[in-house]
Structure 1
């Protein structure tokens, strides 16, 4: 028996968790489904390590396993730090399986945690421009379209208005590099640190409007926005025209849907009904360790995805 087939059968056999996720369903949600033949309604993108207990440490094998479970996308924050040949191999694997590449972070050095576009300093803007140019080549290798940008921390020596203008000016320069290639930087508002400049949906919407480029959109990370402001579905509607990408994570805990307070079945149903065809990144951990946790995660997504 081939390894992939064996792994798939072992997952389906362990506690019947996947089939129990389908209980009460009809027709295409038959409990006897073959995962590879039953992709999810939406493109949920897992990341490296999420299925390593079943597929091993090799991300390529994890990608193949995720595909066999019905997932049709990945994301990889650290793609820019991977060797060139690995970037290409990931892209080739995705193309062969008919999967999509989600976001990677525009920088291999994580400079945005130590610096800030809000300062207006040329050295920081130049660094972002350099990284955007490199990101174009990385995107070609792995088949990516979206890349995450975080403006960095506040500069409390300047007014909020001047800081905002500095961020807009820097992002316009980055967007000018990406736009000719059909690539999109997606701005992520975060909740990890109160010193971070970009934190809210209205602020992100305003900046995207001001940059005024198809290469600059909002990354709506629903975990962070639940922590910062709540009112997820209404805010999705408010910033819809400037949203290019979604990320998932239940709160509290930042794990898979169903482990916190958020009703992801309703959220997914709403996003799907609005016609969204893009990727939803699984930017969270597994609530349970080991193989059992990976099975529980797949079960959670089957349950939340059963909104039709």
Structure 2
């Protein structure tokens, strides 16, 4: 599934129109202890709890906080009006929540292929990195997702890798002074993408050699592309700055597929991970019952000792 379609499925684009205002959602809390949080810092997307919270983004944030979620992920942040970005940032601060990743997307991050070395693609990437810094300030974001683009069949893999590294160095120069980290995401959506494996991502990050260029390890994508999740995370751990979640098959909440998330989450917790865990998936069931099941799935997977 392409990232743009995934965003649409979570109703990110349609929610902007209903941003204004919002009433308290304490009555919506599903837990007897709304202050209860999780061992790890899981971050829902806008749209995940619309059945309970409605379309208003501020109400959705309040509902997330009521359930114990301490962060938000918003892939489509860069496409939101500046005043909406600012409002999200202020509400996150008020609720004591933090911002997870948004996507560095210059219009269509599937088409801007840094593998080619083409000046127009690199220029677009640099321009979008500069815009990302300003958006990040409005929501106090520390991470931004970067996808290098498609594999270029008429170029040797070494040349493509070199082109990607040089472009990412340009991005890192922009992000470093602002404490913003671009996290490279290897994906499984199509075999035509350049970045697909954790070891490949590790090598690129080592070559860029910047605190502003690290790995986004999406467990769903890596289960599909290479499996052996915990050992591969261990090998790449020093370059992993952000983690995303989704069970396989189906890309739904933990417990709906084959991944033993209880063990994966326990491993991540034992590594001392203090970052955000992005809930980059859909819901197995719709409506309020589906949302309740999602929350309970995270309670169960997070119940390690």
TM-score by structure 1 length? 0.90
TM-fit CA distance, 1:231? 0.3
Residue aligned with 1:227, SS = helix
Q: Which residue of 2 aligns with 1:34?
A: 33
Q: Which residue of 2 aligns with 1:62?
A: 60
Q: Which residue of 1 aligns with 2:98?
A: 100
What are the ranges of 5 or more consecutive residues in structure 1 without an aligned counterpart? Answer: 13-32
TM-fit CA distance, 1:5? 2.6
After TM superposition, list the pairs within 5 Å mapping 1:286-301 onto structure 2.
286-301=283-298
Residue aligned with 1:198, SS = coil
Q: Which residue of 2 aligns with 1:19?
A: none
After TM superposition, list the pairs within 5 Å mapping 1:32-181 onto structure 2.
33-35=32-34, 37-110=35-108, 112-181=109-178
2:304 counterpart (293, 304, 307) = 307
TM-fit CA distance, 1:59? 1.6
Measured in 2, the distance between the counterparts of 1:182 and 1:7 equals: 36
The question of whether the paired residues in 1 share the 8 Å contact of 2:24 and 2:59 is answered with no
Measured in 2, the distance between the counterparts of 1:100 and 1:269 equals: 22
Task: After superposition, give the CA deviation of every residue in 1:154-175 in whole Å (9 maximum; x if it has no partner).
Answer: 1111100000000000000000
What are the ranges of 5 or more consecutive residues in structure 2 without an aligned counterpart? Answer: 1-22
Task: After superposition, give the CA deviation of every residue in 1:162-194 in whole Å (9 maximum; x if it has no partner).
Answer: 000000000000000000100000000000011
Q: CA RMSD in A?
A: 1.0
Measured in 2, the distance between the counterparts of 1:227 and 1:86 equals: 35
TM-fit CA distance, 1:58? 1.2
Q: Which residue of 1 aligns with 2:214?
A: 217
Measured in 2, the distance between the counterparts of 1:168 and 1:3 equals: 47
Q: Which residue of 1 aligns with 2:27?
A: 6
Residue aligned with 2:277, SS = strand
Residue aligned with 1:197, SS = coil
Measured in 2, the distance between the counterparts of 1:59 and 1:301 equals: 22
Measured in 1, the distance between the counterparts of 2:178 and 2:24 equals: 39
TM-fit CA distance, 1:7? 1.5
TM-fit CA distance, 1:114? 1.6
Measured in 2, the distance between the counterparts of 1:109 and 1:142 equals: 21
Measured in 2, the distance between the counterparts of 1:102 and 1:92 equals: 15
Measured in 1, the distance between the counterparts of 2:231 and 2:221 equals: 15
The question of whether the paired residues in 2 share the 8 Å contact of 1:125 and 1:170 is answered with yes
Is 1:189 the equivalent of 2:186?
yes
Measured in 2, the distance between the counterparts of 1:261 and 1:252 equals: 7
1:229 counterpart (213, 226, 229) = 226
Q: Which residue of 1 aligns with 2:12?
A: none
Is 1:244 the equivalent of 2:218?
no
The question of whether the paired residues in 1 share the 8 Å contact of 2:26 and 2:63 is answered with no
TM-fit CA distance, 1:108? 5.0
Change (3 A) 1:108 1:77: farther
Is 1:207 the equivalent of 2:228?
no
The structure with the largest alpha-carbon Rg is 1
The question of whether the paired residues in 2 share the 8 Å contact of 1:186 and 1:218 is answered with yes
TM-fit CA distance, 1:6? 2.1
TM-score by structure 2 length? 0.91
1:280 counterpart (267, 277, 280) = 277
TM-fit CA distance, 1:43? 0.7
